[in-house]
Amino acid sequence: MKRIGMGLIGPGFVAAHHIDAVRRLGDVDIVAIAGSSQASAERKAREYKVDRAYGDFNALIADPDIQVIHNTTPNYMHFPVVMAILAAGKHVISDKPLALNPEQALAMRDAAIAAGVGHVVTFNYRGNPLVQQAREMVAQGAARGVNFVHGYYLQDWMTDPNVYSWRSDAAKGGATSALGDIGSHWCDLAEHVSGLKIDSVLADITTVIPVRYSAGASAEAFSKENKGERTPVKVTSEDLASVLLRFDSGAKGSFSVGQVLPGHKNDVELEINSSKLSLKWRQEQQNELWIGRHDQPNGLMMKDPGLVSGEALRYTHLPGGHQESWADAFTNIIRDGYAWIRNGAAMKDKPAPLPTFDDGYRSTCIIDAMLKSAHAGGVWQRVHYMPVGKK
Ligand code: SOE
């Protein structure tokens, strides 16, 4: 099998997990890392045991030994970095959200398709076997007639006002924090599992902590560093949101997101209620799928290759009772991304669960509708999404 050369731009929290996942594939060489300076890139390259380090991401893009580039930079850099990768004709795997707004995301999607390269956005929760099992049960009719899709994505790593991340800086994180950072994951999961499309939204957003105290640099997600002289910074983006949803089928929904909710670490919950049964999956108990019934006892399906089918079976690597993890799910998506790239990266050949720039663009359209709804005082707002090939 011909080996592929990989490079990574932006070594923050999630970068380590991109590198871990790629290392597990066995046929990809991690060639280089690019950081915000030569010194920081070399420090991270040493930490991740990568040979080459670049202080300028353009130098990494130009490296002839690299064919696939992972973008894990802060949100404001996604557009310039990804467009430079695409201009060089290289494949790209980008962290979410794809871009700061739908205009950037549309340009990135269409440029990736025009370049004929692979383009993946890491909506990594799709990589969980029981997420795929739930999707399969909806698609096969076991959960026919979806009426209600609801849940939440709750975290507490930003509860301390002394935690200052680029996510709270509108110039770097964009106009949104909670919705763009983790609401994007929840909405992607809701559409992916239910097979439905969010048609319109009604959002209420809140900035629970309007002033944060920065020590100068952006804290990595979930870091507890608290040292250094602090200066107050006004925060305008939301750290809490509740949203009502209307789907294209007429089904209804609702979800909440927050990053300042004590006790919730990385608490994603998705529940789908249909005419036949209910399905509920929680990321923090990711090896269980709750099945609710009105005419039989409820059930709890354990992640077990003997019980799951289709893509869920493909994403299951251990026997029942051997817990599969966040990193395993992440690796499932990365593995599919490289398989798609090796197979020519044509949309018709894409593995069904693999999220592309089209999903990333659609996500920005959904979040944009939520911001418009909230900023208009809480009104119903249609999602405006341009399908591939339409103008
Ligand atoms: C911080 O909220 C964060 O790291 C997100 O940026 C990730 O996308 C999510 O998977 C975990 O939490």
Question: Can you say whether the dihedral through the CA atoms of 75, 11, 132, 359 is positive or negative?
Answer: positive
Give the start-to-end residue ranges of the domains of the chain: 4-124+352-356, 125-320+363-373
Residue having the nearest C-alpha atom to atom 9 of ligand 1: 182
Contact (CB, 8 A) for 333 and 353? yes
Expressed in angstroms and rounded, the spacing between residue 306 Cα and the centre of ligand 1 is 31
Query: How far apart (Å, rounded) are the C-alpha atoms in residues 173 and 106?
Result: 18
Contact (CB, 8 A) for 111 and 83? yes
Contact (CB, 8 A) for 22 and 335? no
Expressed in angstroms and rounded, the spacing between residue 245 Cα and the centre of ligand 1 is 22
DSSP string, 82-123: HHHHHHTT-EEEEPSS--SSHHHHHHHHHHHHHHT--EEE--
Task: Name the pTM for this structure.
Answer: 0.96
Residue having the nearest C-alpha atom to atom 6 of ligand 1: 181
pLDDT digit string (tens) for the chain, length 391 residues: 789 999 999 988 899 999 999 999 999 999 999 999 999 999 999 999 999 999 999 999 999 999 999 999 999 999 999 999 999 999 999 999 999 999 999 999 999 999 999 999 999 999 999 999 999 999 999 988 999 999 999 999 999 999 998 888 888 888 999 999 999 999 999 999 999 999 999 999 999 999 999 987 666 677 766 567 889 999 999 999 999 999 999 999 999 999 999 999 999 999 999 999 999 999 999 999 999 999 999 999 999 999 999 999 999 999 999 999 999 999 999 999 999 999 999 999 999 999 999 999 999 999 999 999 999 999 999 999 999 988 8
User: Tell me, what amino acid is at 201?
Assistant: V
Ligand 1: nearest atom to the Cα of 259: 2
Expressed in angstroms and rounded, the spacing between residue 290 Cα and the centre of ligand 1 is 24
Q: Which CATH number fits domain 125-320+363-373: 1.10.10.350, 3.30.420.40, 3.30.360.10, 3.40.50.2300?
A: 3.30.360.10
Name the CA dihedral angle for 344, 349, 352, 355, rounded to a multiple of 10 degrees: 40
**Pocket around ligand 1: residues whose beta carbon is below 6 Å from it?**
13, 155, 181-182, 185, 221, 266
Contact (CB, 8 A) for 40 and 66? no
Expressed in angstroms and rounded, the spacing between residue 327 Cα and the centre of ligand 1 is 13
Ligand 1: nearest atom to the Cα of 155: 2
Tokens of 379: 């009104």
Query: How far apart (Å, rounded) are the C-alpha atoms in residues 164 and 173?
Result: 12
Contact (CB, 8 A) for 69 and 34? no
Expressed in angstroms and rounded, the spacing between residue 218 Cα and the centre of ligand 1 is 15
Residue having the nearest C-alpha atom to atom 4 of ligand 1: 221
Expressed in angstroms and rounded, the spacing between residue 222 Cα and the centre of ligand 1 is 9
Query: How far apart (Å, rounded) are the C-alpha atoms in residues 198 and 380?
Result: 12
Summary count for the chain: helices (H), strands (E): 12, 17
CATH superfamily, domain 4-124+352-356, is: NAD(P)-binding Rossmann-like Domain (3.40.50.720)
Query: How far apart (Å, rounded) are the C-alpha atoms in residues 217 and 235?
Result: 15
Residue having the nearest C-alpha atom to atom 11 of ligand 1: 266
What residues form DSSP beta bridges with 247?
A: 198
Expressed in angstroms and rounded, the spacing between residue 13 Cα and the centre of ligand 1 is 9
Query: How far apart (Å, rounded) are the C-alpha atoms in residues 177 and 313?
Result: 34
- Residue among 181, 187, 326, 363 whose CB has most ligand 1 atoms within 8 A, to mutate: 181
Give start and end residues of each alpha helix (H) in the chain.
15-25, 38-48, 57-62, 78-87, 102-115, 129-139, 170-173, 178, 184-194, 310-314, 326-342, 357-375
Secondary structure percentages of the chain, helix, strand, coil, to 5: 35, 25, 40
Expressed in angstroms and rounded, the spacing between residue 107 Cα and the centre of ligand 1 is 24
Residues in the chain: 391
What residues form DSSP beta bridges with 281?
A: 270, 289
Residue-level pLDDT at 169: 87
